[in-house]
């Protein structure tokens, strides 16, 4: 599979572009009036005037895809007035299809999802490679390369907490955060504030998806670090 780096540390491959082309054609035919924002398409600012946009990451977790691992997914969300209306993840290497519709719950392969209900922060399961010393009271669980699948793990009660302290893009999280929220998880940025979509700058600093009862403790744990890192990582 032909692959290259868009910028150092960010691989892309021919399959990313092929999936992007396919989805843009098919979703555009399905809903011609909707705008488009995708990781692999040049941004068209006309999307800002659209009430609906498709938000797409053709392959989230390209590293796992290139290595023949299963931790990647196709992520598609339909955004309405700045909020996810429909979220879909297809993880064919895992035989998984995830779906959420705002106000109607979330499913994986047709089975309804109920997110983590953990009430104690200590011992929370986190999909990561390793934890820093200050987070040694948390528990490492398997980490797919796809951030969307890691967020979905909270929706499926396979993890209790997913957090990032970096700038990320809307297309990485649009579908999966709706899936998590519809399953009952709490979803905010790293400072505990709501997320917004179809912004002029399609980035946000930090992400926090977790069991609702541990959200205040998670914000307390992360907010000071986030305040230090946020202006440095644009």
What is the percent of the chain where pLDDT is above 70? 94
| Residue found under tokens 């946000």 | 204
pLDDT at 126 over 80: yes
59 is in an annotated binding site: yes
pTM higher than 0.75, yes or no? yes
pLDDT digits (tens, 9 = 90+) for 156-191: 999 999 999 988 899 999 999 999 999 999 999 999
Residue 5, marked binder: no
Question: Residue 151 annotated as binding?
Answer: no
Question: Which residue segments constitute the domains of the chain, with CATH numbers given?
Answer: 3-112 (3.30.540.10), 125-229 (3.40.190.80)
179 annotated ligand binder = no
Rounded distance between C-alpha atoms, residue 118 and residue 216, angstroms: 13
pLDDT in tens, 45-87: 999 999 999 999 999 998 999 889 999 999 999 999 999 999 9
Q: Annotated binding residue at 147?
A: no
């Amino acid at each position: 599979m032909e692959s290259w780096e868009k910028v150092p540390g960010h691989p892309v491959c021919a399959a990313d572009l092929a999936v992007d082309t396919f989805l843009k054609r098919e979703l555009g035919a399905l809903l011609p009036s909707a705008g488009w924002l995708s990781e692999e398409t040049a941004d068209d600012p006309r999307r800002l005037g659209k009430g609906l946009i498709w938000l797409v990451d053709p392959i989230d977790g390209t590293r796992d895809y290139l290595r023949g691992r299963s931790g990647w997914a196709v992520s598609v969300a339909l955004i309405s007035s700045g909020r996810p209306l429909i979220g879909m993840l297809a993880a064919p290497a895992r035989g998984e299809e995830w779906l959420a519709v705002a106000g109607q719950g979330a499913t994986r392969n047709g089975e309804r999802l109920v997110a983590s209900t953990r009430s104690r922060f200590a011992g929370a399961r986190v999909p990561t490679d390793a934890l820093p010393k200050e987070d040694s009271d948390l528990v490492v669980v398997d980490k797919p390369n796809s951030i969307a699948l890691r967020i979905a793990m909270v929706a499926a009660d396979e993890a209790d907490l997913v957090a990032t302290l970096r700038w990320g893009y809307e297309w990485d999280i649009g579908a999966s955060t709706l899936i998590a929220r519809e399953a009952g998880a709490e979803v905010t940025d790293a400072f505990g504030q709501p997320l917004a979509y179809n912004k002029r700058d399609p980035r946000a600093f930090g992400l926090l998806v977790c069991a609702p009862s541990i959200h205040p403790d998670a914000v307390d744990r992360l907010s000071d670090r986030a305040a230090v890192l946020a202006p440095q990582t644009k």
